[in-house]
Structure 1
Amino acid sequence: MSDRPVTPILDRVQAPADMKALSDRELAQLAHEVRAETISAVSETGGHLGAGLGVVELTVALHAIFDTPRDRLIWDVGHQCYPHKILTGRRDRIRTLRSKTGLSGFTKRTESPFDPFGAGHSSTSISAALGFAVARDLGGAPEHGIGDAIAVIGDGSMSAGMAFEAMNNAGHLGKRLFVILNDNEMSIAPPTGALSSYLSRLYAGEPFQEMKAAAKGAVSLLPEPFQEGARRAKEMLKGMTVGGTLFEELGFSYVGPIDGHDMEQLLSVLRTVHDRATGPMLIHVLTKKGKGYGPAETADDKGHATAKFDVLSGKQHKAPSNAPSYTSVFGKALVDLATEDDKICAVTAAMPDGTGLGQMLDRYPSRTFDVGIAEQHGVTFAAALAAGGMKPFCAMYSTFLQRGYDQVVHDVAVQRLPVRFAIDRAGLVGADGATHAGSFDIAFLANLPDIVVMAAADEAELMHMVATAASIDDRPSAFRYPRGEGVGVDLPDRGEVLEIGKGRMIRDGSRVAILSFGTRLSEVERAAEKLAAKGITPTVADARFAKPLDRDMILALAADHEALITIEEGAVGGFGSHVAQLLSDEGVFDAGLKFRSMTLPDTFIDHASPADMYATAGLSAADIEAKVLEVLGVTAIETRRA
């Protein structure tokens, strides 16, 4: 406890209501203490650091001015919510962040009444705030009451179309709500696009700061003697790209930009808009990601996500790696192919490093496109690249590809365009929890006609699947792989092109066959070793493809064994369902085959380590072993005798 920060004012704050009695000077000191507590806590747990440090003053000011939880404070994405959790009765649990049974790393409705709307993906906050504002005016939730609705959204999240759809609707409805644009010029990767350039131009010229604020502020909120001067300033600057023109055209009154680390300025502006606003307001706040902690401020990603670290040095405590990560293997394999084929290009949505495309961006910047947080656009953009004769790899996390699913169907699959989807973070991802779990891509992709869907069992297989996808020019394809390091197999110099729809046999056995799709294969092999020690020798096969299925291999396994078990790191409706459909169509069940499909359960699994999550899901080696014994009707006593 001795190395934890001294926090005399924070110690007096058990809930935001306790902040109402604090002076402005004490609120500024409270922000310093919250920043120190955040750094201390994340040094012990790991997690998203930089985003929270950038909004410490803003968090304190919002809770001091507004009446949360009656006023609904909605944090977009939620990366920045740790200071919010510290101030809303969860300080005593803040060192359980992202651990099993601990606090979520994001906002979560079931965790606290101060989290009115959960999030893990970006750009949802304005839609949610508008929903709360309309529910308030329609008399919703009378037992609790709804006051104001406040959305805090980053400039990176503003690049997503959903944010503008919400602002357009909010401007039309004219409801009182507040959008805080947290402009730190950085989401996870440096922001890209015209909107980022527009926001940068708003404060590019320091001498004009005060004039811009006066010219483009909500004139009606100023004291009467200043209103005419503000109108004249606004007219004088008419035609210049300054202030909130874009937002005002959408129906919002605009105030800013203001210094998000100046508590006096924040409190003054928020008190004014709180007291006087009647319709939608946009408050443009300039912040610095990683503010107040040197190692975060100087890091390329501003301390976006860290492992446990030493507070004094900032050095992270990362476990030594025994194998390259799947992400880095994909990135290198793609660069190698792009070196040989100048038609290969890559698309990602604000995650070049997270998806392994940083290597491609460095080597071939003209063929690598970061479209910002805009997955829908990214998928259609890739579709047109394919239609134009290029060979696009669209690299997205499984959970983010969900946001572009209509485009996968409408713009890619229907037109049979050869977009190659590289699906990172497939399966359960650990500390980020349910919002980031790649649970559904097998099911939502494999049900599309004429698509090739692959899953790598190890990092060498991933290299083969990158090469295979590059060779497919007549239809869309996808390959999935998990977060983290590989199995540790030897890697080839180049990936080999696989025969489409053909799996591989791993070991021959009898009575029961286990057909694996994806990286559960290593757990299957562990289970097989334990079963062999008990006198049971299962056949093990790696399907490689969920679409098209290896019909010959599956039907042969069904004919030669009493039971067939499929296993996958995906939800019900995926690989196992397709195998069951094949067996049903072929009448195999009529011959008495015992069939079981091991999938992720029909529930959302909370954050924990990946191993704990897979144990909860019933997909560990022990679970596979138990399933084999169950389907064969073998008891523990019988196995001991064997």
Structure 2
Amino acid sequence: MTKAPVTPLLDRVHTPDDLRKLPKSELRQLADELRTEMIDAVGSTGGHLGSGLGVVELTVAIHYIFNTPDDRLIWDVGHQAYPHKILTGRRDRIRTLRQGGGLSGFTKRAESEYDPFGAAHSSTSISAGLGFAVANKLAGTPGKAIAVIGDGAMSAGMAYEAMNNAEQAGNRLIVILNDNDMSIAPPVGGLSSYLARLVSSGRFLGLRDLAKKFAKRLPAPLQVAARKTDEYARGMAMGGTLFEELGFYYVGPIDGHDLDQLIPVLENVRDAAEGPCLIHVITQKGKGYGPAEEAADKYHGVQKFDVITGEQKKSAGGPPSYTNVFAKSLLSEAEQDNTICAITAAMPTGTGLDKFAAAFPERHFDVGIAEQHAVTFAAGLAAQGMRPFCAIYSTFLQRAFDQVVHDVAIQNLPVRFAIDRAGLVGADGATHAGSFDVTYLATLPNMVVMAAADEAELVHMVHTAAKYDSGPIAFRYPRGNGTGVELPETPQQLEIGKGRMVRGDEKQGRKVAILSLGTRLAESLKAADQLEAKGLSTSVADMRFAKPLDSALIRKLMATHEVIITVEEGSIGGLGAHVLTLASDEGLIDAGLKIRTLRLPDLFQDQDTPDKQYDEAGLNAPQIVDTVLSALRHNSAGVEEARA
């Protein structure tokens, strides 16, 4: 067990007010202690590491120069905000990150006044910051909005949509581009740092303002020429022409780890009379921790790890993850079909498509954090005869719902949606839960929606999707490891819209029928065992498809069973709603039939272990049993009475 880090300066800083009392000469030491504290904390909890380490100095500088929380600090992709949490009164809870009842791994309004806007999906900060800045402007109240965007978030179109309207905020909006992968800037050098300080200084801005006033006296063509000369002169030196065209005054690039550069630039920008400003800051992901510097991707998100060696706690052995099963299955299909393409939105490793990229680089496309583009790009590929698989987490596919409707479903294009992280996801909490995909996809005409009950079923569904050319098709699967079933050597092509009986017979009269969609099948079978032990004969069906429904199977089960229970790891509007609609439309409900639907509750569930989350949601075997007993109007002690 390692000793707690020695942090004498950090121990005196409980809020940014304490930070602002320190002399500038002590900020370097404070940043070093803050980095040490973050490494130690994440080592004990797991979580996002590399991004936070890269913004330690930037976090210190922002809180030192700006009057937070009155100046609103909005973090894009909130996993950059661990150092921010430590400096804003939450250090005593930092070792509860991502645990049940603990701190969120992202910014969260309910957690602190220093988190003015929640962020777990990317590219929202400039839009939100613009809202804060304009609201202050309209109300005539002081306060600026500082949006820190980075870690790939500038690859999303929403950031540029916001920047296109940013002039409305005047000088109340400051955007800090945290460029941690050198994707925009040339290497930072002394000249560029000097120029950044120079062009952000009050003296330079004053001279520039004087030049603008002089230029207004010139004929119109010369006014345009003067403006362009100013923009291009600074653009050639610093690369900011794009941002200038979007209405921002560009400063940078500067070294985001050099407080002697950060502090004067932030001071100058804070006091400037210019309009919205963008500060381009270069940082190193994983800065200050050797293992994270050497492998930024591996240490972006980590398990618990040994701070001394950097060795991450290995997960227990066992069945392969659903993500790996999907990746291997897709590789197998692509080896036999050169029309198969794979698309990911900045998550090649998370979706398993890094393996596809290695084998078929010309057929793999990482489009960045741009889910809308990913879906419509896939639609274009499909329209031209390719077979695209669009692999996107359930929570991120929500961002492209209009494209799924307009560009795919209406045109009935055969885009394959591989929906990872379906259902509840544990430590990432409500923002990353895959709660809604069945609901929002199964409402769409032409769409086929499948849910894998185990890893063997996932293999069959990948194959089925590869062979399906009649329109869009989606299959969902959860985070984590499979159930341990044997994987098929040869995948089956499933009949569209047909479920399977796992226990019992739809033609045989029984007391209870459980209709499961997805990986709650294992809990449904446990529930069936418990019900049988109570003398209640129980059938279990794996529906496989939320759309189209296996109407024939449902009719038979309703005709031969007294209680129908649907179980799914999604929100209202999914399998249960479609079964109820079928029963209502066809008059299948009579006085002797009881139907109950089990689904995720109508709330955003906080982080915890997945098993605890599903227990809270009422989707484990004991709750399934209780639902059946309640439907039969008795509890476990009254089974004999009900049977009689």
Say if 2:558 is the partner of 1:558: yes
Structure-2-length-normalised TM-score? 0.93
Deviations 1:370-412 (A, max 9, x none): 0000000000000000001000000000000000000000000
C-alpha contact (below 8 Å) 2:188/2:253 kept by paired residues = no
Q: Which residues in structure 2 correspond to 1:458-497 (within 5 Å)? A: 458-497=454-493
Gaps of 5+ in 2: 212-225
Partner of 1:189: none
Among 234, 240, 244, the residue aligned to 1:244: 240
1:501 Cα deviation after fit: 0.4
Say if 2:351 is the partner of 1:355: yes
C-alpha contact (below 8 Å) 1:152/1:182 kept by paired residues = yes
Partner of 1:165: 161
Say if 2:597 is the partner of 1:597: yes
1:488 Cα deviation after fit: 0.5
Whole-angstrom distance in 1 between the partners of 2:232 and 2:589: 80
Residues 61 and 181 (structure 1), Cα distance of their counterparts in 2 relative to 1, 3 Å cut: same
Partner of 2:42: 42
1:7 Cα deviation after fit: 0.4
Say if 2:423 is the partner of 1:433: no
Q: Which residues in structure 2 correspond to 1:238-387 (within 5 Å)? A: 240=236, 242-301=238-297, 303-387=299-383
Q: Quick one: which amino acid aligns to residue 222 of structure 1?
A: F
Whole-angstrom distance in 2 between the partners of 1:635 and 1:517: 26
Whole-angstrom distance in 2 between the partners of 1:422 and 1:252: 39
Partner of 2:148: 152
1:10 Cα deviation after fit: 0.5
Partner of 1:119: 119
Whole-angstrom distance in 1 between the partners of 2:294 and 2:604: 37
Whole-angstrom distance in 2 between the partners of 1:560 and 1:235: 77
Aligned residues: 624
1:532 Cα deviation after fit: 2.0
C-alpha contact (below 8 Å) 2:133/2:145 kept by paired residues = yes
Say if 2:402 is the partner of 1:420: no
1:608 Cα deviation after fit: 0.7
Q: Quick one: which amino acid aligns to residue 337 of structure 1?
A: E
Q: Quick one: which amino acid aligns to residue 251 of structure 1?
A: G
Whole-angstrom distance in 2 between the partners of 1:150 and 1:210: 21
Partner of 1:203: 186
Q: Which residues in structure 2 correspond to 1:8-87 (within 5 Å)? A: 8-87=8-87
C-alpha contact (below 8 Å) 1:565/1:598 kept by paired residues = yes
Gaps of 5+ in 1: 187-195
Q: Which residues in structure 2 correspond to 1:402-417 (within 5 Å)? A: 402-417=398-413
1:613 Cα deviation after fit: 0.9
1:318 Cα deviation after fit: 2.4
C-alpha contact (below 8 Å) 2:422/2:476 kept by paired residues = yes
1:494 Cα deviation after fit: 3.1
1:591 Cα deviation after fit: 4.9
C-alpha contact (below 8 Å) 2:188/2:282 kept by paired residues = no
1:139 Cα deviation after fit: 1.6
Deviations 1:175-234 (A, max 9, x none): 521100000017xxxxxxxxx3xx1xx32484753576478x4576637689999x9996
Q: Quick one: which amino acid aligns to residue 401 of structure 1?
A: L
C-alpha contact (below 8 Å) 1:512/1:538 kept by paired residues = yes
C-alpha contact (below 8 Å) 1:349/1:378 kept by paired residues = yes
SS in 1 for 2:426: coil
What is the root-mean-square deviation in Å for CA atoms of aligned residues?
2.3
C-alpha contact (below 8 Å) 2:238/2:253 kept by paired residues = no
C-alpha contact (below 8 Å) 2:193/2:253 kept by paired residues = no
1:590 Cα deviation after fit: 3.2
Partner of 2:394: 398
Partner of 1:531: 531
Q: Quick one: which amino acid aligns to residue 203 of structure 1?
A: P
Q: Quick one: which amino acid aligns to residue 635 of structure 1?
A: N
1:239 Cα deviation after fit: 7.7
C-alpha contact (below 8 Å) 2:171/2:277 kept by paired residues = no
SS in 1 for 2:501: strand
1:581 Cα deviation after fit: 0.5
1:593 Cα deviation after fit: 1.5
Residues 235 and 514 (structure 1), Cα distance of their counterparts in 2 relative to 1, 3 Å cut: closer
Percent identity over the alignment is 63
Residues 238 and 437 (structure 1), Cα distance of their counterparts in 2 relative to 1, 3 Å cut: closer
1:638 Cα deviation after fit: 2.8
1:272 Cα deviation after fit: 1.1
1:535 Cα deviation after fit: 1.9
Deviations 1:424-448 (A, max 9, x none): 0000001011010000000000000
Whole-angstrom distance in 2 between the partners of 1:98 and 1:582: 40
SS in 1 for 2:541: strand
Whole-angstrom distance in 2 between the partners of 1:355 and 1:131: 33
Say if 2:514 is the partner of 1:514: yes
1:636 Cα deviation after fit: 2.2
Stretch deviating more after TM superposition (101-110 or 205-214): 205-214
Partner of 2:204: 222
C-alpha contact (below 8 Å) 1:72/1:146 kept by paired residues = no
1:303 Cα deviation after fit: 1.2
Deviations 1:479-517 (A, max 9, x none): 000000000100012321000000000111721100000
Deviations 1:140-160 (A, max 9, x none): 8xxxx6611000000510110
Whole-angstrom distance in 2 between the partners of 1:567 and 1:222: 66
Residues 569 and 153 (structure 1), Cα distance of their counterparts in 2 relative to 1, 3 Å cut: same
Q: Quick one: which amino acid aligns to residue 204 of structure 2?
A: L
SS in 1 for 2:484: coil
Partner of 2:611: 611
Residues 637 and 221 (structure 1), Cα distance of their counterparts in 2 relative to 1, 3 Å cut: farther
Partner of 1:445: 441
Deviations 1:289-347 (A, max 9, x none): 10000111111505110000000011111221310000000000000000000000011
C-alpha contact (below 8 Å) 2:414/2:471 kept by paired residues = yes
Partner of 1:634: 634
Whole-angstrom distance in 1 between the partners of 2:210 and 2:120: 44
Whole-angstrom distance in 2 between the partners of 1:402 and 1:529: 37
C-alpha contact (below 8 Å) 1:289/1:302 kept by paired residues = no
SS in 1 for 2:487: coil
C-alpha contact (below 8 Å) 2:201/2:265 kept by paired residues = no
Q: Quick one: which amino acid aligns to residue 519 of structure 2?
A: T
Residues 291 and 207 (structure 1), Cα distance of their counterparts in 2 relative to 1, 3 Å cut: closer
C-alpha contact (below 8 Å) 1:221/1:277 kept by paired residues = no
Q: Quick one: which amino acid aligns to residue 97 of structure 2?
A: L
Whole-angstrom distance in 2 between the partners of 1:460 and 1:146: 59
Whole-angstrom distance in 1 between the partners of 2:368 and 2:127: 19
C-alpha contact (below 8 Å) 1:160/1:373 kept by paired residues = yes
Whole-angstrom distance in 1 between the partners of 2:253 and 2:146: 17
C-alpha contact (below 8 Å) 1:219/1:227 kept by paired residues = no
SS in 1 for 2:79: coil
Among 144, 156, 172, the residue aligned to 1:176: 172
Residues 454 and 569 (structure 1), Cα distance of their counterparts in 2 relative to 1, 3 Å cut: same
Whole-angstrom distance in 2 between the partners of 1:384 and 1:634: 56
Stretch deviating more after TM superposition (165-174 or 328-337): 165-174
1:137 Cα deviation after fit: 1.4
Whole-angstrom distance in 1 between the partners of 2:208 and 2:405: 55
Q: Quick one: which amino acid aligns to residue 483 of structure 2?
A: V
The ranges of structure 1 where at least 4 consecutive aligned residues each deviate by more than 3 angstroms after the TM superposition are 172-175, 204-208, 210-215, 217-221, 223-229, 231-242, 639-642
Whole-angstrom distance in 2 between the partners of 1:330 and 1:421: 12
Q: Quick one: which amino acid aligns to residue 466 of structure 1?
A: V
Stretch deviating more after TM superposition (95-104 or 264-273): 264-273
Partner of 1:546: 546
SS in 1 for 2:48: coil
C-alpha contact (below 8 Å) 1:124/1:162 kept by paired residues = yes
